[in-house]
Amino acid sequence: MISVDSYGWIERFTDGPKADLYDAVIDKAALSEIVTSAMVLYEVYRKIKQAVNEQSALEAVAAIGQTFVVPVDQSISLEAADYSLMFGLHMADAVVYATARHYGAELYTSDEDLKGVKGVVFI
């Protein structure tokens, strides 16, 4: 199992400078093996709608929706709070990280706030 945070998906859908690296990670995994926090849908939709347009944002969310999307429930919320305290993470990063850890997935990101955290593959 792997997980890709918002940074990675945004790179992929906006053809950012690290898009090829994220494409390789994402395309290598079966969609059912990619764990995605529902928080990622929010972040990707917001960023792509702002930077590109609503249609592109909806298409990105539809593509991500084919992965294993995990809602933010009580268990994930409490784990996220613990990780936030442990690593000084903001709420969104903590929720995405907690979701990946909950399912034993490595989290792929280029978010500096997650660099060096256990279970994170920094691109």
Q: Give residue-wise pLDDT tens across range 57-93.
A: 999 999 999 999 999 999 999 999 999 999 999 999 9
Q: What CA–CA distance (Å, rounded) separates 65 from 31?
A: 9
Query: Which among 70, 74, 80 is positioned nearest to 114, based on CA atoms?
Result: 80
* Architecture in CATH of 2-122: 3-Layer(aba) Sandwich (3.40)
| Strand spans (E) along 16-122 | 34-37, 68-70, 106-109, 120-122
Predicted TM-score (pTM) of the model is 0.95
Structure tokens at 88: 């000084």
Domain boundaries, the chain: 2-122
Q: Give residue-wise pLDDT tens across range 35-53.
A: 999 999 999 999 999 999 9
| Strand spans (E) along 1-123 | 2-4, 34-37, 68-70, 106-109, 120-122
Query: Which among 64, 77, 70, 78 is positioned nearest to 29, based on CA atoms?
Result: 64
The mean pLDDT of the chain is 98
